[in-house]
């Protein structure tokens, strides 16, 4: 038996050795010197620059990675979903928090196979290049502005690495553990979710929620608003202050002296990470307690609607009557103040000696004026996508996802259709379909509210399931990326150049402005 096995192995080895010597040939013949030196064979790929590493920018960079030569510019080297930070800072710190941070913070290099990732801040944009603060210049053929909006600390950070961000969140979590009383300014999705999580996970912490409207979550349908308010009021350590417009936040040092800050700068400073507050030995120049001053506004309901009118138009919200202030008040002794007032745009600001051609497209409120295809007027090769544009719909992950996919679909049609020379306005955003927002708000670990265009208002267990599905959909391509084959650079270059030579910006697309 052994000699048969030995004989067969020797025979197989001899046959394989013969095949390797007789049939060893290259699948592709090496290029000759004439081909290598021929300049006509050189193709400069389409240079695509994406500025901003939020959800929209990361999504666009991922989708365009196999199509163009992408340069991705962000102030940090990782992707972070803002809403995932809420349970990390609300739950007392443990090993699970650190493990969750490591899973939620995804390096840009992990989901981008070909793109060039640059860490820096943009200080200028001209006709052909983007200038960084350190003097580097990045040429572009297609430019995508996805700078988003200004976020408050701790949802915004200056830490550029994952390890630095994890340590920062740990320090802040331990700092919140020492607080006895905090204020949350803003009754939107982040403010409500943060207040509920803090109250449920830290029973000894008193949370005061301030909101300038008569209902929480004003962007959601009435059913979701009422459910959210009932859920918040069930928490014994939450005090809800509706119709309360915050006018001033004053900080006091450890000796009880007022910190030399004006009301405007103190309120705006809540948007910045002041690391001095997070140290155990607080500097005398840093505030240790805060006082919130507010105005109680008067809202008058609209005339009563008929059932048919409510079914067609929805329940109308109360309206502010001539800025009537019923009373003023103040609350002292806050250990920290969370500013979750959203929709604060942060357009690109030109540095010293730098040109910024984007400034002429800024609206008075700071958003970029775009078409329904997210293009700037008379600059069809520049897009402003995400929360930085002026699309008049509820800004959130749902709208950002729709905008990113709309832009990708339009560019994909140009690249794969040899006769395509224009991006048709009919392929842009249909604002009528975006009247009902796609927004899910987490209320603790086992409750949620929200709405989607296909289901309307959602509350309770159904909203929790929809929230988990929506979140998995948002982060799936970052945590488990699928890399696609690189497209032919010559074909892409030819069709994009042909499109750029004929493309115009349809002024009808700006009718929503």
Q: What is the mean pLDDT of each run of 10 residues along the chain (513 residues)?
A: 61 57 47 60 84 94 94 94 89 84 89 93 94 94 94 87 91 92 92 94 94 89 90 92 89 77 47 44 66 85 63 57 76 91 85 89 92 91 93 90 94 85 78 87 91 88 92 89 86 89 75 68
Among residues 435, 465, 434, the alpha carbon closest in space to that of 448 is found at 465
Query: Distance between CA atoms of 338 and 152, rounded to whole angstroms?
Result: 8
- Residue 334's pLDDT is 92
What b/e string do you get for 28-53 counting C-beta neighbours within 10 Å, with b at 16 or more? eeeeeeeeeeeeeeeeebbbbbbbbb
Query: Distance between CA atoms of 264 and 135, rounded to whole angstroms?
Result: 32
Neighbours of 120 (CB within 10 A): 18
- Residue 36's pLDDT is 55
Q: Sort strands 78-79 and 69-74 into parallel, antiparallel or unpaired.
A: unpaired
- Residue 327's pLDDT is 84
DSSP collapsed to 3 states, 156-188:
CCCCCCHHHHHHHHHHHHHHHHCCCEEEEECCC
Question: 217 preceded by cis ω (within 30°)?
Answer: no
Domains of the chain: 47-155+344-394+397-428+483-510 (3.50.50.60), 179-339 (3.50.50.60)
Answer yes or no: pTM beyond 0.95. Answer: no
Contacts of 408 (CB under 8 A, 6+ apart): 60, 63, 64
Query: Distance between CA atoms of 381 and 423, rounded to whole angstroms?
Result: 11
- Residue 504's pLDDT is 75
Query: Distance between CA atoms of 223 and 49, rounded to whole angstroms?
Result: 42
Beta-bridge mates of residue 251: 290
Q: Could you tell me if 412 and 142 are in contact, meaning their C-beta atoms sit under 8 angstroms apart?
A: no
Q: Could you tell me if 505 and 376 are in contact, meaning their C-beta atoms sit under 8 angstroms apart?
A: yes
Neighbours of 363 (CB within 10 A): 14
Q: Could you tell me if 252 and 258 are in contact, meaning their C-beta atoms sit under 8 angstroms apart?
A: yes
Token match 């192995």: residue?
Answer: 9
Q: Which helix (H) or strand (E) holds 255?
A: none
Beta-bridge mates of residue 64: none
């Amino acid at each position: 038996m052994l000699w048969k096995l030995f004989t067969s192995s020797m025979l197989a080895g001899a046959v394989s050795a013969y095949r390797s010597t007789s049939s060893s040939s290259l699948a592709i013949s090496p290029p000759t010197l004439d081909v290598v030196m021929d300049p006509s064979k050189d193709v400069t790929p389409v240079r695509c620059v994406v500025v901003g590493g939020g959800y929209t920018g990361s999504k666009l960079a991922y989708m365009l990675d196999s199509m163009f030569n992408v340069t991705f510019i962000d102030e940090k080297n990782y992707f972070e979903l803002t809403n995932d930070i809420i349970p990390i800072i609300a739950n007392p710190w443990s090993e699970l928090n650190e493990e969750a941070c490591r899973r939620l913070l995804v390096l840009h290099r992990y989901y981008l196979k070909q793109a060039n990732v640059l860490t820096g801040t943009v200080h200028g944009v001209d006709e052909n290049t983007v200038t960084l603060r350190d003097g580097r210049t990045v040429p572009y053929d297609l430019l995508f502005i996805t700078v988003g909006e200004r976020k408050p600390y701790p949802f915004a950070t200056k830490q550029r690495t994952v390890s630095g961000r994890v340590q920062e969140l740990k320090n802040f979590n331990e700092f919140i553990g020492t607080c006895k009383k905090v204020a949350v300014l803003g009754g939107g999705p982040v403010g409500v979710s943060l207040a509920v999580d803090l109250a449920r996970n830290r029973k000894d912490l008193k949370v005061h929620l301030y909101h300038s409207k008569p209902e929480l979550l004003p962007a959601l349908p009435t059913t979701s608003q009422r459910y959210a308010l009932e859920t918040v009021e069930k928490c014994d350590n939450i005090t809800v202050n509706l119709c309360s417009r915050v006018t001033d936040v004053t900080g006091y040092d450890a000796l009880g002296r007022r910190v030399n800050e004006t009301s405007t700068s103190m309120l705006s400073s809540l948007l910045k990470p002041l690391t001095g507050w997070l140290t155990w030995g607080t500097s005398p120049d840093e505030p240790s307690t805060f006082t919130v001053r507010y105005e109680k506004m008067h809202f008058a309901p609209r005339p009563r609607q008929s059932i048919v009118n409510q079914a067609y138009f929805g329940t109308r919200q109360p309206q502010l009557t001539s800025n009537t202030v019923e009373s003023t008040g103040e609350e002292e002794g806050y250990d920290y103040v969370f500013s979750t007032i959203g929709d604060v745009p942060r357009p690109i600001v030109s540095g010293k000696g730098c040109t910024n051609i984007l400034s002429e497209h800024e609206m008075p409120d700071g958003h970029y004026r775009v078409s329904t295809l997210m293009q700037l007027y008379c600059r069809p090769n520049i897009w402003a996508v995400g929360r930085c544009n002026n699309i008049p719909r509820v800004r959130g992950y749902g709208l950002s996802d729709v905008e990113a996919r709309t832009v990708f679909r339009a560019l994909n049609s140009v690249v794969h259709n040899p006769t395509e020379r224009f991006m048709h306005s009919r392929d842009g955003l249909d604002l009528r379909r975006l009247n009902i927002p796609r927004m899910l708000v987490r209320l603790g670990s086992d409750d949620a509210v929200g709405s989607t265009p296909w289901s309307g208002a959602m509350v309770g267990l159904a909203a929790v399931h929809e929230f988990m599905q929506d979140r998995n959909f948002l982060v799936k391509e970052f945590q488990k990326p699928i890399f696609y084959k690189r497209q032919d650079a010559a074909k892409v270059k030819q069709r994009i150049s042909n499109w750029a030579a004929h493309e115009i910006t349809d002024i009808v697309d700006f009718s929503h402005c």
